[in-house]
């Protein structure tokens, strides 16, 4: 088998992106050698691969700083409305290649590194992922930063610089084991500490009402140290900033202990303050009401709002009055977008600053706050909604509790005036949930305190309006919007799939990279023999490359001519990895029953992390690995069916597996996946989708034509009807022999002979309390998978569908999503203005 060409070898053979200028290459070499020399003078004589990586990273970073400074200068001079994207997660992945791509430096670096006898791809592999997110929500924030910079918006991402990101996943004896993600161990060349902007954040204490106003006293102080990371737009010389806060203890921390002779203890106790930014909570779509998490949420909000107010006051064209207390124009200069309810405390914190510190009267402050803030809802699962106990909240943030009570009182007065005597409506709409444990409903706070509320796919936004926030929608329907998610085509096509990007450029030019709707130009070419051949060839090369990677990293051999059936996302019952498992077991049983019968060979690849405390999700991983143990070692099966669990799925691994996929599994129960974004990445990279009518799948089917996806299963209405009637799993178990056989095998230990009752919890859940109705979609799923097999046997027709999908994926660019946020929520216009490069004089 011929070794597949590396991406850099391909770039040498052809480059539609233009040959790198010799001057650029020489400059990169010179800069690289200078940085390498610096490293070695400091330390050693022998350079390691990591030294080479850092030398290259610093070389590329040198190209950013001039543009970064000039962009910020440009904003200071123009004083545009600034966009603040607040998120507790930014799932950035690696930065080196993305920076080279967006600066148009990739070819020059490639050539320079090659001339120095090194391999660029090898150096790229040394970089740690910045895994400061769990999944979709954190990765969406990262795509949004890329699009906001590319669209020339004066935007800032604000979050926490977690010392430990999402855990690294190891599979040991088929079980997930977590280990700490010490991503900063070797340093991070992309961040710049900014101690001059360090800010205090207050916790605990007490509230005092004085003639001069309300005072929050006797607080404990933690310092927030900012670290800035540049965010380059695509070839427009714009470089925005992501500012992440790290917790530092003040030097007088625990001063009282110093004076009582407990000096050592007092210094050690600094850790308690600094724990705030220690670790990312590893839950996806699940609320864990821990005090440390509440501290994290207030920490990022308090530091960020001080920064926003400082920048507002010092802006060149701020208010003309000497003390700049005219906050009326604040919403004309500031937009705050809340990525889910995690930064919801921005609403009471902005109120606290306006009322207590800036002495704005309450009604004016409330008007300003609402005009400034907007809220994005990311889930309808009840277990994911943040509901903080009043007792915990009041101890940590006593002033904010008062403010929330006041907000709620005014809100309920308004509702009562409109619906006299409707006490149940008041109870449903209150921010405070009464009960044995009084709780604060953060989603209600966000809806009340924002001028815009959006869902992240059309079907999800409808559910938000007519179910989750029904009462609020009846009160203020104009507040509710849809903003269907998107992905950046720079990382998710140009960077991860250069072969496909080149093939597309040869046909329609490169305008699609900043206007993805131009992919529509491929539609007339859907029957073009050359294009069909090239698209199929690129896919085959990507599969060979991924096969080689699997063999090298995981010592597993797979059949590159089999269908790559890929299901990668966080492990969750609602995402129904169990439905996929039942399909695999059924395929296995069919092969065993009739070994002579021809079948389409498949490699089923399942990957994703389970939250460490989520027992069922961890059992699902064990089930996948156990099925793999049996299937992969059965000589009767041979290479017709293989099951791979992809260890430690993360951004950098997604960039490898997605371009190699033939089939994309998006099979959540209708009405549970708010949008999904992996679905869009697979579509753009030439996989076909098997999926339910859920999340953005609905709009993907609308764009490409439902006949070009494999859509199956219950719709939202069917799920609701089944809930009304009462879902009875045993009915399906009794009626469908293949389902019964698969479930019995799992229950009776066929896949776990050492522990026959290993999976009894899974089977018990599926039969008696399955909220996500796996059995109800089994029959339709199997029939749909049979259609997949049938089409896959006709490679030409399969590839035509692939081309149609790619051609219709333009809507799912985050550039389109951000343009809609800008116009409909933030009140700003994207600009294609090129900021001049640093060496060009400004005017």
Contacts 24+ apart (CB under 8 A), 252-259: 253/221
Helix H, strand E, coil C: the string for 632-673 is: HCCCCCCCCEEEEEECCCCHHHHHHHHHHCCEEEECCCCCCC
Please give the order of strands across the beta sheet that includes 432-433. 387-389, 439-441, 432-433
Which residue, 802, 832, 803, is CA-closest to 815?
Answer: 832
DSSP E strands: which ranges in 510-614? Answer: 563-568, 602-607
**pLDDT bracket for residue 285 (50, 70, 90):** confident
User: Is 14's pLDDT higher than 50?
Assistant: no
Q: What is the pLDDT of residues 414-437, one digit of tens each?
A: 999 999 999 999 999 999 999 999
Catalytic residues: 378, 569-570, 575, 677, 681
Bridge partners, residue 713, by sequence: none
User: Is 41's pLDDT higher than 70?
Assistant: no
Dihedral of CA atoms 444, 446, 450, 453 in degrees, nearest 10, equals -80
pLDDT of residue 833: 83
User: Is 601's pLDDT higher than 90?
Assistant: yes
DSSP string, 320-340: SSTT---GGGHHHHEEEEEES
Q: What is the pLDDT of residues 184-206, one digit of tens each?
A: 999 999 999 999 999 999 999 99
Query: What rounded mean pLDDT belongs to the chain?
Result: 94
Q: What is the pLDDT of residues 616-641, one digit of tens each?
A: 999 999 999 999 999 999 999 999 99
**What does the alpha-carbon distance between residue 99 and residue 57 come to, in Å, rounded to a whole number?**
9
pLDDT of residue 257: 59
Q: Please give the C-alpha separations between residue 69 and each of 145, 270, 714, in angstroms, as whole numbers.
A: 18, 34, 53
**pLDDT bracket for residue 3 (50, 70, 90):** low
User: Is 597's pLDDT higher than 90?
Assistant: yes
Helix runs in 79-130, H state only? 96-103, 106-115, 120-124
pLDDT of residue 316: 65
Q: What is the pLDDT of residues 46-104, one digit of tens each?
A: 899 999 999 999 999 999 999 999 999 999 999 999 999 999 999 999 999 999 999 99
User: Is 322's pLDDT higher than 50?
Assistant: no
Q: Which helix (H) or strand (E) holds 704?
A: helix 697-704
Q: What is the pLDDT of residues 201-260, one digit of tens each?
A: 999 999 999 999 999 999 999 999 999 999 999 999 999 999 999 999 999 888 775 566
**What does the alpha-carbon distance between residue 687 and residue 140 come to, in Å, rounded to a whole number?**
21
Q: What is the pLDDT of residues 697-723, one digit of tens each?
A: 999 999 999 999 999 999 999 999 999
Mean pLDDT of 770-791: 98
What is the set of domains in the chain, with CATH numbers? 13-78+99-125 (no CATH), 79-94+129-486 (3.40.50.2000), 498-812 (3.40.50.2000)
Q: What is the pLDDT of residues 345-388, one digit of tens each?
A: 999 999 999 999 999 999 999 999 999 999 999 999 999 999 99
- The answer to whether 659 touches 497, Cβ cutoff 8 Å, is yes
Q: Please give the C-alpha separations between residue 237 and each of 67, 151, 241, 790, 835, in angstroms, as whole numbers.
A: 6, 11, 13, 48, 6
User: Is 517's pLDDT higher than 50?
Assistant: yes
pLDDT of residue 832: 87
**pLDDT bracket for residue 139 (50, 70, 90):** very high
């Amino acid at each position: 088998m011929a070794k597949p060409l590396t991406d850099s070898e391909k770039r040498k053979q052809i480059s539609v992106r233009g040959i790198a200028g010799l001057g650029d290459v020489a400059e990169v070499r010179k800069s690289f050698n200078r940085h390498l020399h610096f490293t070695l003078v400091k330390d050693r004589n022998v350079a390691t691969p990591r030294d080479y990586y850092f030398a290259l990273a610093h070389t590329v970073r040198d190209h950013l700083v001039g543009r970064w400074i000039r962009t910020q200068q440009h904003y200071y001079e123009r004083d545009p409305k600034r966009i603040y994207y607040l998120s507790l997660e930014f799932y950035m992945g690696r930065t080196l290649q993305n920076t080279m791509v967006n600066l148009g430096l990739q070819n020059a670096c490639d050539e320079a590194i090659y001339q120095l006898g090194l391999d660029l791809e090898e150096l790229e592999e040394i970089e740690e992922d910045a895994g400061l997110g769990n999944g979709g929500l954190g990765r969406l924030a990262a795509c949004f930063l890329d699009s906001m910079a590319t669209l020339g918006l004066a935007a800032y991402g604000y979050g926490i610089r977690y010392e430990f990101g999402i855990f690294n996943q190891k599979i040991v004896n088929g079980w997930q084991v977590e280990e700490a993600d010490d991503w900063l161990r070797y340093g991070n060349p992309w961040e710049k500490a900014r101690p001059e902007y360090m800010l205090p954040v207050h916790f605990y204490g007490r509230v005092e009402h004085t003639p001069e106003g309300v005072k929050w006293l006797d607080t404990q102080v933690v310092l927030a140290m900012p670290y800035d990371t540049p965010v380059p737009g695509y070839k427009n010389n714009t470089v925005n900033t992501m500012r992440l806060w790290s917790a530092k203890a003040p030097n007088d921390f625990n001063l009282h202990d110093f004076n009582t002779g407990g000096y050592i203890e007092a210094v050690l106790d600094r850790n308690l303050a600094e724990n705030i930014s220690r670790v990312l909570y590893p839950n996806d779509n699940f609320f864990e009401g821990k005090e440390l998490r509440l501290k994290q949420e207030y920490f990022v909000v308090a530091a960020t709002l001080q920064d926003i107010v400082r920048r507002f006051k010092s802006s060149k064209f701020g208010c003309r009055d000497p003390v700049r207390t005219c906050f009326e124009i604040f919403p004309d200069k500031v937009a705050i977008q809340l990525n889910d309810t995690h930064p919801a405390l921005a609403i009471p914190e902005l109120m606290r600053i306006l009322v207590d510190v800036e002495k704005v009267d309450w009604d004016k402050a409330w008007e300003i706050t609402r005009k400034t803030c907007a809220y994005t809802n990311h889930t309808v699962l009840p277990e994911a909604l943040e509901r903080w106990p009043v007792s915990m909240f009041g101890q940590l943030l006593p002033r904010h509790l008062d403010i929330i009570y006041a907000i709620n009182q005014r809100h309920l007065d308004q509702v009562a005036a409109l619906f006299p005597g409707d006490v149940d409506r008041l109870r449903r709409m209150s921010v405070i949930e009464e009960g044995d444990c009084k709780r604060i409903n953060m989603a209600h706070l966000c809806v009340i305190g924002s001028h815009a509320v959006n869902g992240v796919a059309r079907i999800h936004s409808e559910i938000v309006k007519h179910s989750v926030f029904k009462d609020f929608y009846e009160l203020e329907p104009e507040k509710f919007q849809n903003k269907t998610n998107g992905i950046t085509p720079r990382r998710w096509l140009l960077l991860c799939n250069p072969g496909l990007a080149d093939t597309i450029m040869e046909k329609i030019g490169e305008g699609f990279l900043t206007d993805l709707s131009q992919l529509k130009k491929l539609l007339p070419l859907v029957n073009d023999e050359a294009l069909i051949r090239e698209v199929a060839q690129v896919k085959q090369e990507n599969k060979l490359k991924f096969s080689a990677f699997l063999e090298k990293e995981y010592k597993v051999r797979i059949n590159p001519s089999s269908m790559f059936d890929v299901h990668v996302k966080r492990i969750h019952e609602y995402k129904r990895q169990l439905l996929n498992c039942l399909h695999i077991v059924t395929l296995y049983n069919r092969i065993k029953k009739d070994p002579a019968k021809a079948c389409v060979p498949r490699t089923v690849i399942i990957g994703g992390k389970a939250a460490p405390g989520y027992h069922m999700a961890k059992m699902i991983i064990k089930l996948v690995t156990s099925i793999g143990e049996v299937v992969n070692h059965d000589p009767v099966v041979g290479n017709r069916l293989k099951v791979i669990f992809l260890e430690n799925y993360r951004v950098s691994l997604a960039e490898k597996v997605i371009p190699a996929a033939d089939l994309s599994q998006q099979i959540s129960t209708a009405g549970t996946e708010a949008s999904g974004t992996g679905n869009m990445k697979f579509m753009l990279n030439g996989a076909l989708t098997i999926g339910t009518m859920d999340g953005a799948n609905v709009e993907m089917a609308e764009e490409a034509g439902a006949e070009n996806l494999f859509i199956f299963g219950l719709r939202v209405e069917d799920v609701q009807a089944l809930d009304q009637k009462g879902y009875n799993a045993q009915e399906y178990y009794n009626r469908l022999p293949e389902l019964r056989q698969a479930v019995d095998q799992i229950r009776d230990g066929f896949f776990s002979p050492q522990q026959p009752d290993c999976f009894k919890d899974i089977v018990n859940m599926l039969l008696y309390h399955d909220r996500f109705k796996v059995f109800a979609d089994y029959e339709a799923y199997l029939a749909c998978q049979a259609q997949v097999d049938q089409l896959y046997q006709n490679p030409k027709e399969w590839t035509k569908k692939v081309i149609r999908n790619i051609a219709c994926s333009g809507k799912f660019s985050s550039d389109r999503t951000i343009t809609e946020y800008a116009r409909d929520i933030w009140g700003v216009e994207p600009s294609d203005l090129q900021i001049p490069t640093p060496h060009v004089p400004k005017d």
